[in-house]
A = this chain, B = another copy of it.
Amino acid sequence: MGSTARPEVPLPAGFTCHVGNVGIKDDTDDFTVIAADRPCAVAAVFTRSRFAGPSVVVSREHAADGQARAVVVISKNANVATGAAGLDHARELAAGVATAIGAAPTEVLVASTGVIGRPYPIARIRAGMAALTWPFDGSDAFRVAQGIMTTDTVPKVAEATVGDGPARVVGVAKGVGMIEPDMATLITLVFTDADIGAEQLDAMFRRVIDVTFNCVSVDSDTSTSDTAIVMASGAAGPVDPDALEAAMHAVALSLTRQVARDGEGAETLIEVHVDRARDREQAKRVAKAIVNSPLVKTAVHGADPNWGRVAMAVGKCSDDTDIEQERVVIRFGDRELYPTIVDEAGLAQLSDYLRGDEVRIHVSLHTGDAEATVWGCDLTDGYVRINADYTT
């Protein structure tokens, strides 16, 4: 089993794609359809936002029976907070794609990402749907990843083989800001040609998402459009479920790290590992408090081994009254900084470490034996510039 990220990754057997431009915002790719030649097992998890968009509403309905033929993604417009017309547009999108590929409307899932509160330029989308030619001739996951990008600076693709093959898992993701997924990330699409039932696929996918995408945070903001979908075509036949889950985990983990590294304005990937915790929830809560702290994020950006800010972030978890500051251990990389205090020469070495493109913060709570790992990125002038200038 291997996991890589590079251009020209073919979709698993049974899937093809169409990636094009219909003029949602500019002339970049904004209309992406991935379809299977027969019904697939499907599982999906979505944002819990109270402002969830119509795409999420429609996809949740259409994934409920565990079967789907295709997913269509509109990028550059989220179709969120667009009222009754927005919901009509999402249903029309599913139905139009279904007609083009000879499927039922309920066999098509929809995802959408971009600006909030603007109606779709629906006439352009209608023209795009009318021009679809089935069967599709595309099969490159790299093109799919490009088609769903908004302000991402790089397309995000990962693949893994299941055991010794021939089944494969291929995933794509997009998302650089508004990222603290709550049930799912912005948009993640995972495809496999393994043959697996929808119920087993759903359970497996939720376990994988829980320790990957649900552990990444760029800015503590949660999208209204978070959508993670997995589709299994079955073209490669049945596989060992553990090997499939391992391959799926490798793909999701790679995509998670790619998303964190490409966080808006980010220059450094931050991995926070918390162990010796009472339970996984405590470990994850403390790890998220650290990775989301603006003061920790700016310290990493400034290559400042200011471990006091990590102590502050641990301290914020004030309901965790079993955390005793005398027993907490804080490390940057492998270097212990608290309670053993390092001298100025040691701090200078750590500053060099923090200048790398990946930083690991490791905290032991000594309240139990559970652990969790989360991923994020530094907070830079670039984040402020990107988000002060976006939209209008």
Contacts and interface: CB of A to CB of B under 8 A. Distances in A.
A12 to B, nearest CB: 33
Contacts of A383: 294, 298, 384
Interface in A87-139: 115-117
Can you tell how many copies of this chain the complex includes? 2
Interface string A217-231: 001111110000000
Nearest to A292: B220
A342 to B, nearest CB: 10
Interface string A270-309: 0000000000000000000000111100110110111111
Interface stretch (A15-23, A49-57, A144-152): A49-57
B221 A311 contact: no
Shortest 8 CB-CB contacts between residues of A and residues of B? A116-B308, A302-B388, A51-B315, A49-B315, A298-B387, A48-B318, A117-B308, A50-B315
B222 A302 contact: no
B221 A338 contact: no
Contacts of A384: 298, 301, 379-381, 383-384
Contacts of A48: 318
Contact of A295 (B51, B311, B323, B387): B387
A28 interface: no
A379 B379 CA distance: 11
Nearest to A320: B50
A385 interface: yes
A378 to B, nearest CB: 9
B49 A224 contact: no
B392 A312 contact: no
A339 interface: yes
Given A117-B338, A383-B294, A317 B390 contact: no
Nearest to A84: B326
Nearest to A300: B388
A318 B49 contact: yes
Contacts of A313: 221
Contacts of A295: 177-178, 219, 221, 387
A390 B308 contact: no
A313 B51 CA distance: 9
B339 A306 contact: no
Contacts of A78: 308
A205 B314 CA distance: 28
Contacts of A81: 308, 311, 325, 338
B301 A388 contact: yes
A89 to B, nearest CB: 15
19 contacts: A49-B312, A51-B315, A80-B308, A81-B311, A81-B325, A116-B311, A116-B312, A117-B338, A177-B295, A178-B295, A220-B220, A221-B312, A224-B312, A224-B315, A301-B384, A302-B387, A305-B392, A351-B392, A381-B384
